[in-house]
């Protein structure tokens, strides 16, 4: 029986245990979208996870949509991430970077004045996005990418992955969920293209398959994962047939030898997304979405997943794995300090105590 504390291998990634820290935006990057010393400490504290997946990191200026999210396209950002990688490795941990291009899900005030807002089609995101002050504001109309520009966007992802590896990060995860650029290509309502990247499911998955193929060639398939959430409606997603779309995607990715599929497992009418993944993808699976320790153990024991990821519990419990191991109650995270927008603000970020400090 597979135990949550047993070691695992996801491609080239050797994990000391099967507890994965899920990617979580925290809005703590510096003025040049570089990781701060507080971010270094935040990830160092949580290095007991078998694998850390970083917060969404923009591969290019156009990929940014939220205030104070980090990038991986400038030298100062690479050096900041190098410090993060060294801190995590120094504690015996492993870390991959989530590459997040938000596409149309962005606010002009959050990004550089010269950075465009692009998408598969000129259809705005209907959901408002928080601006610099945290107040949600309407998004702008994106410019539809021309077919000749798509290889350039893929090349930006590739360069970001190479920068991550140069910084010492162990691999990358392509964010294909939450209504961001890859999912905008996947979803039938946000992708109204009439070329090879739109229309049929085979065409709509092409951007994601080509991007992951390029990432695999650049840094090795065993260091590349991807995150999906079939059926999610966040940021205006409304695919006409998510089961068909994702079965097509998974079959297209299965032969690439990638490190893992990271599934956000939400309820869907007519199909179960974990069953869909297992039927169409033969590689390792990380299960995510509201898991408890008990439920995670069952998922692993039944062979439905190879690792399990936790988000919210890692915010308030930097020593989450040890608390699980020793049966210690979990601390509650302060939702009021999830997003402060200040790179040097430790409140609700690096000031949560470890269990031995709780008397």
pLDDT at 224 over 90: yes
Look up the CATH number of the domain holding residue 56: 3.20.20.70
Residue 117 in domain: yes
Give me the residue label for tokens 């991007």.
211
- Residue 352 domain-assigned? yes
3 part of a folded domain: no
How confident is the model over 232-266, as pLDDT tens digits? 999 999 999 999 999 999 999 999 999 999 999 99
Return the SS3 of 132. coil
pLDDT higher than 70, residue 359? no
Average pLDDT over residues 316-325: 97
Distance in angstroms (rounded) separating the CA atoms of residues 4 and 18: 5
Give residue 42's domain range.
8-357
Tell me whether residue 222 is in a domain. Answer: yes
Per-residue pLDDT averaged across 294-322, rounded? 97
d(CA 166, CA 78): 8
Domain contains 1: no
List of residues 6+ apart from 63 with CB closer than 8 A: 71, 100, 101, 102, 103, 156, 181
Q: Kind and range of the H or E element at 79?
A: helix 75-90
Q: Confidence class of residue 70 from pLDDT cuts 50, 70 and 90?
A: very high
Quick: pLDDT tens for 164-214.
999 999 999 999 999 999 999 999 999 999 999 999 999 999 999 999 999
Token pair 């990821």 in the structure block, residue: 309
**Banded model confidence at residue 345, pLDDT cuts 50, 70, 90:** confident
Q: What token pair was written down for 21?
A: 């820290």
The pLDDT of residue 161 is above 60 = yes
Residue 61 lies in a domain: yes
Helix (H) or strand (E) holding 264: strand 260-264
More confident of the two residues 342 and 61: 61
In a domain, residue 175? The reply is yes
Active site members: 180
Q: Give the span between the Cα atoms of 285 and 308, in whole angstroms.
A: 8
User: Hey, what are 246's tokens?
Assistant: 């994702």
Mean pLDDT of the chain: 96
Q: What pLDDT score was predicted for residue 340? A: 79
Domain count, the chain: 1
Report the b/e string of 144-168 with b at 16+ CB within 10 A. Answer: bbeeeebeebbebbbebbbbbbebb
For residue 2, being part of any structural domain is answered with no
pLDDT for 21 beyond 90? yes
């Amino acid at each position: 029986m597979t135990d949550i504390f047993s070691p695992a291998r996801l491609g080239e990634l050797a994990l000391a245990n099967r507890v994965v820290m899920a990617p979580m935006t925290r809005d703590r990057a510096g003025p040049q979208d570089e990781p701060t010393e507080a971010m270094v400490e935040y990830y160092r504290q949580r290095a007991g996870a078998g694998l850390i997946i970083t917060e969404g990191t923009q591969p290019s200026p156009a990929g940014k949509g939220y205030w104070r999210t980090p990038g991986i396209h400038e030298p100062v950002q690479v050096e900041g991430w190098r410090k993060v990688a060294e801190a995590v490795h120094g504690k015996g941990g492993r870390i991959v970077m989530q590459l997040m291009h938000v596409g149309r899900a962005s606010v002009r005030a959050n990004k550089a004045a010269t950075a465009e807002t692009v998408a598969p089609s000129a259809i705005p995101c209907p959901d408002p996005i928080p601006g610099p002050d945290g107040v949600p504001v309407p998004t702008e109309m994106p410019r539809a990418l021309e077919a000749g520009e798509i290889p350039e966007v893929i090349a930006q992802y590739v360069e970001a992955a190479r920068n991550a590896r140069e910084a010492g990060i162990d691999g990358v995860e392509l964010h294909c969920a939450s209504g961001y650029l890859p999912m905008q290509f996947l979803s039938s309502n946000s992708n109204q293209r009439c070329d090879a990247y739109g229309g049929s499911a085979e065409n709509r998955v092409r951007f994601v398959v080509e991007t992951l193929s390029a990432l695999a060639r650049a840094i090795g398939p065993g260091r590349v994962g991807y995150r999906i959430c079939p059926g999610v409606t966040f940021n205006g997603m409304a695919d006409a047939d998510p089961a068909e779309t994702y079965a097509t995607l998974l079959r297209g990715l299965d032969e690439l030898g990638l490190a893992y599929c990271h599934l956000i497992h939400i309820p869907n009418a007519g199909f179960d997304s974990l069953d869909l993944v297992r039927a169409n993808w033969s590689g390792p699976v990380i299960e995510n979405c509201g898991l408890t320790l008990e439920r995670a153990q069952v998922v692993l024991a039944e062979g439905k997943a190879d690792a399990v990821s936790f988000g919210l519990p890692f915010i308030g419990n930097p020593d989450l794995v040890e608390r699980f191991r020793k049966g210690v109650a979990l601390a509650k995270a302060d939702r009021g300090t999830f997003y402060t927008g200040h790179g040097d603000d430790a409140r609700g970020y690096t000031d949560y105590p470890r269990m031995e400090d709780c008397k």
